[in-house]
Chain A
Amino acid sequence: MQRRHFLKNTMATGAVALAATSGLLVPVQVLAWNKKAFDAKDVQGAMKGSLGTELTEASDKIKIKAPDIAENGAVVPVTISSTLANVTSITVLSEKNGTPLVAKFNLKGKAEAFISTRIKMGKTSNVIAICESGGKFYSARKEVKVTIGGCGG
């Protein structure tokens, strides 16, 4: 009888211990991806969510290379380069997309201020590029006319 009791007890405590450890081991979810910023429906919200501010300084040191007229909004090639010193991030927004924030590129170490990618654009609007340099934000924009939208369909 005593032996049985002992087994029962150890098993019970064992289960509790297991539950406790597994509870402790549940990893704390760190969301690297900035959902709030990407879900924002307007440019201000997207900028605030992504950069923490909506104030940027217009700069002619940022160059956006994008077509004046994009026939297919699903694939708009955009190249952003800057001659600003110490650019730590480049953010791309498409003003009239359902969710304007397209992407944010965090640059570190040896990376240079140059990004080229292809984006989707819902309709004719400005492409906004924001470069972060020395804690300040600089922006530039360029209008791209879109003949066929690339969001939804």
Chain B
Amino acid sequence: MAKSSIKVRAKAKNGVVTVKALISHKMETGLRKDKKTGKVIPAHFIEEVNCEHNGAAVMNAEWGVAISKNPYLSFKLAGASGDKIKLTWKDNTGKSDSLETKVK
């Protein structure tokens, strides 16, 4: 299986789970030009990130092109160790990826 584009760490402390995620994606703005050809590189970026906690949606993020390359995202939610966190992203070309992990 291809390596997932998502890396997630979720840790519980005092009933609060901190989720930290790194997504590998080039987040092209559509404004940059190729230095060699002078052509504009088409926009290619993540539009949507969804997170589920034990199957229930907790976060839905709408992203623009101004999110940095290889996006980092961190958020918190109420939960405990052993809970399931599922992260899904979708970009403007229709590609998507998801990863499920357990809270430590």
Measured CB to CB, the residues of A under 8 A from B are 32-34, 38, 50, 74-77, 79, 94, 97-99, 101-112, 114-121, 150-153
Once the chains bind, are B66 and A103 in contact (CB under 8 Å)?
yes
Query: CA separation between A104 and B63, bound complex, in Å?
Result: 6
Once the chains bind, are A108 and B58 in contact (CB under 8 Å)?
yes
Type the 1/0 row for B37-78, where 1 means its CB is closer than 8 Å to any CB of A.
000000000011000010011111111111111011111111
Q: Name the residue on B nearest A38 (C-beta).
A: B64
Q: A105-B75, A117-B73 are in contact. Are A75 and B58 (CB under 8 A)?
A: no
Residues of B within 8 A of A94 (CB): 66
Q: Name the residue on A nearest B22 (C-beta).
A: A118
Residues of B within 8 A of A121 (CB): 66
Once the chains bind, are B68 and A120 in contact (CB under 8 Å)?
yes
Residues of B within 8 A of A111 (CB): 58-59, 75-77
Residues of B within 8 A of A97 (CB): 66
Residues of A within 8 A of B64 (CB): 38, 99, 101-103
A-B CB proximity, top 6 nearest = A116-B74, A118-B68, A112-B76, A102-B66, A110-B78, A152-B31
Query: CA separation between A130 and B70, bound complex, in Å?
Result: 24
Query: Nearest Cβ distance between residue B87 and chain A, in whole angstroms?
Result: 13
Once the chains bind, are B67 and A112 in contact (CB under 8 Å)?
no
Once the chains bind, are A106 and B77 in contact (CB under 8 Å)?
no
User: Which of A34, A50, A118 has the largest count of B CB atoms less than 10 A from its CB?
Assistant: A118
User: Which of A38, A103, A114, A150 has the largest count of B CB atoms less than 10 A from its CB?
Assistant: A103
Once the chains bind, are B77 and A75 in contact (CB under 8 Å)?
no
Instruction: Pick the residue among B16, B60, B67, B75 that contacts A118 (CB under 8 A).
Output: B67
Q: Name the residue on B nearest A100 (C-beta).
A: B66
Q: Name the residue on B nearest A152 (C-beta).
A: B31
Q: A103-B63, A112-B75 are in contact. List 9 more A-B contacts (CB 8 A).
A: A33-B48, A38-B62, A50-B62, A97-B66, A109-B53, A110-B53, A110-B78, A114-B74, A116-B73
Query: CA separation between A105 and B21, bound complex, in Å?
Result: 15
Query: Nearest Cβ distance between residue A143 and chain B, in whole angstroms?
Result: 17
Query: CA separation between A32 and B67, bound complex, in Å?
Result: 18
